[in-house]
Chain A
Amino acid sequence: MTDVLMVEDLAVRFRGESGVVDAVEGVSFRLREGETLAIVGESSSGKSVTALALMRLLGGPPNCVVRGRATFMRQDGEALALLSLPETRMASVRGRDVGMIFQEPMTSLNPVHRIGAQIVEGLLAHERLSPRAAEKRAVALLDHVGIPEPALRARAFPHQLSGGMRQRAMIAMALACRPRVLIADEPTTALDVTIQAQILELIRALQHETGMSVIFITHNLGVVAEVADRVLVMYAGQVVEDAPVDVLLHRPQMPYSAGLIGSVPRLDDVRRRGGRLAAIPGNVPDPNTRPAGCTFHPRCAHARPDPCETARPALEYVSDGHTVRCARWREITV
């Protein structure tokens, strides 16, 4: 399978009133054609910032500096260096080559424009279409993402639709120009559980149909188990483990990954442990005061003063397609 997106050493640094914050450091990954890559981590682990940096949707310098390389392979074989394209070229990549959907369907749609018009706008930005043809396409897209009475809904304003419908409309909008890559930033987090399942199913069906690749950002490992082919676990702005989904879920090497998996609530655990939920002790460190050595060591049950507190561990090769950032991964069983 060919690579669609190659990210090398992506780093994002924010400069604010409270000082310099490295939100993302040295993130590298490859996204293959038709693959779903899940990026997993707690809040402020840098997963959304990674996605926004790739789309160039973060603010510009001097307050935000993005470094590294990201190469996107277009359908016609042209390689685009996403991070160094001129802004006008980048605008033509967004929406056409890479689509994006967001966490909050409530606030991500413009409240004063009709749903149909918001889809039409994206179509007209990238394709030579008459406004009428674009409107027809918009209605067809709404129909395609499972919105009943699509012609009527196209005339509706966002506040007139339910949360699930809005997220479907967002998906229709992001996929309007059949992008090669869809970045879904926590697309189900704000939705009811039953609606979540429907949206996941919809994304999967659309992916199957179009062969697009998906970057799925989530903190929900249940979702990961359902949608992902490969998982990138992020902690404090770095990738700490990168593995195929079944390897990660069953044989994680990084204690943090294991902790995440262990804290998924399960019914048999409730019976066994008297209803207490497992949790990783402590919190994600404040980006201003990240601990020396392994950033996870203060929360890690396997941490030793040496080597965990002395040097920042490197990503190490475990097996094909599996890397881990843990100095002691060979010695410990997590």
Chain B
Amino acid sequence: MTRYVLHRLGQSLVLLVLVSMIGFGLLHLTPGGPLSQFALTPGMSAATLARLSHQMGLDRPLPIQYAEWAGHLLRGDWGRSYRDQQPVLAIIVSHLWATLELMVSSTLLAIIFGTWVGVLGAIRRYSLADYLATIGAMVGLSIPTFWFGLVMIYLFSVWLGWLPSGDMYTNGDASLLDYARHLVLPCLVLTLVTIATWSRYMRASMLDVISQDYIRTARAKGLRPRAVLIHHALRNALLPMITVAGLQLPTLLGGALVTETVFTWPGMGRLFLDSISYRDYPVVMGLLMFSALLVLLGNLVADLLYVVADPRIRLA
């Protein structure tokens, strides 16, 4: 077990290095650069720009820049933002909480309701409820989040005036209710989208399980339908969902790019988008490494959870 974990961590390290190289390369390939936004500023001459670029080390060969960045990272220095000179790690941490609040609440809701919808669709296959759930999931998966978010804002903020249209709290109001009111809309949008995915996986997994021989055995023993469903079917149908949940972890902490932007939610997703448009290389690279780490970690945790949940699986 320990050997397996060490082996996987070793693999992850190699992957992280590769991801950082590719990410760094791609980022510097994008046209413009951190200074391009100043090019049209009155009084900014080409010579000044060149001098600034030299000061920031942006005129050196790419491998050298990468080596310097990686060297700093290895020593625990994530660099500083080009925008406000704040340390990258501090920026990430300050945005992490907002993202966590939004993502944990919506993911939990989505898993609970998605499981329920999926199970219902499977045991009442081809019923009206199943068709409605299927159509709902297709709609949820195919409408663009930004549009859906805007419709919600229009409906609940502009038209009905029930809920705030964005931000995390009203300035000067630190009450829990105010927080909750701000959370509702972005959480709703994310939950509905995640329910769509989760319920489809759940339905497929459940359909697979309820045709298994051991379900028939459980019924032949005289167990009540509910006991068969929960103890035998659901328990097995949730096994493959571990992988789906593991893949969900990066979004859990990485935030939802579009939703956070639409609702001006001060989370990781919006930070990423802003940093890219400013060509804030240190922050973008920091976020990139952070999410790569989470993807690898999420997969590792999922694999380890399998050992706990499924007695047939042994890691070697």
What is the interface of chain A, defined by CB distance below 8 A to chain B?
A: 55, 57, 87-88, 91-96, 99-100, 102, 104, 107-113, 121-122, 125-126, 157, 159, 170, 173-174, 177
Contacts and interface: CB of A to CB of B under 8 A. Distances in A.
B227 A110 contact: no
B217 A110 contact: yes
A173 B218 CA distance: 10
B220 interface: yes
B179 interface: no
Contact of B312 (A88, A92, A121, A157): A157
B219 A94 contact: yes
B123 to A, nearest CB: 12
A305 B216 CA distance: 44
A152 B311 CA distance: 16
18 contacts: A57-B216, A57-B220, A91-B219, A91-B222, A91-B224, A91-B225, A93-B222, A95-B221, A99-B220, A100-B220, A102-B216, A110-B218, A110-B232, A112-B236, A113-B232, A113-B235, A122-B222, A125-B223
Interface string B41-76: 000000000000000000000000000000000000
A278 to B, nearest CB: 33
Considering the complex of A and B, which 3 residue pairs feature the smallest CB-CB distances, nearest first? A95-B222, A122-B221, A94-B222
A94 B218 CA distance: 10
Q: Main secondary structure on chain B at its contact with chain A?
A: helix
A95 B310 CA distance: 27
Contacts of B312: 111-112, 157, 159
Contacts of B220: 55, 57, 94-95, 99-100, 102, 174
Contacts of B213: 102, 104, 107-108
A125 B214 contact: no
Given A107-B212, A111-B236, A112-B235, A91 B217 contact: no
B309 interface: yes
A121 B223 contact: yes
Contacts of A170: 217
A111 B224 contact: no
Contacts of B224: 88, 91, 125
Contacts of B310: 111-112
A92 B235 CA distance: 23
B224 to A, nearest CB: 6
B217 A109 contact: yes
B231 interface: yes
B232 to A, nearest CB: 5
B225 A111 contact: no
Given A57-B216, A104-B213, A121-B231, A112 B223 contact: no
Contact of B309 (A93, A104, A112, A173): A112
B222 A110 contact: no
A102 B225 contact: no
B222 A96 contact: yes
A159 B223 CA distance: 23
A92 B219 CA distance: 10
Interface string B218-255: 11111111010001100110010000000000000000
B69 to A, nearest CB: 47
B211 to A, nearest CB: 10
B221 A173 contact: yes
Interface string B146-163: 000000000000000000
A112 B238 CA distance: 11
Contacts of A121: 218, 221, 223, 227, 231
Contact of B236 (A93, A94, A110): A110
A125 B227 contact: yes
A110 B218 CA distance: 8
Given A111-B214, A170-B217, 5 more contacts: A57-B220, A109-B214, A112-B236, A113-B232, A113-B235
A55 B217 CA distance: 11
B217 A102 contact: yes
Nearest to B217: A108
B311 A159 contact: yes
B227 to A, nearest CB: 7
Nearest to A176: B221
A102 B222 CA distance: 15
Contacts of B225: 87, 91
Contacts of A94: 219-222
A122 B236 contact: no
A110 B214 contact: yes
